[in-house]
Amino acid sequence: HHVRGLDPSRALKSSRAVAGRTLATSRRLVGSMPGMISALSSARMLPQSAHKVGSVLGPATPEQRRQVDAILTSRLDELEGCGPQQWGDEAARILHSLDPAGAAARHQAAKRERHVTVRRTDHGMARITALVPGIDGARIRRDSTSRPRAPAPRATGAVTSRSWPTSSPTR
User: For residues 72 and 36, is the Cβ–Cβ distance under 8 A?
Assistant: yes
Look up the pTM and report it. Answer: 0.65
Side chain identity, residue 12: L
Lowest mean pLDDT among 23-27, 99-103, 117-121: 23-27
**96 confidence band (pLDDT: 50, 70, 90):** very high
Query: Cα(33)–Cα(30) distance, rounded to whole angstroms?
Result: 6
Q: What is the pLDDT of residue 123?
A: 92
pLDDT digits (tens, 9 = 90+) for 9-65: 566 666 777 667 777 888 888 899 999 999 999 999 999 999 999 989 988 899 999
Q: What is the pLDDT of residue 8?
A: 61
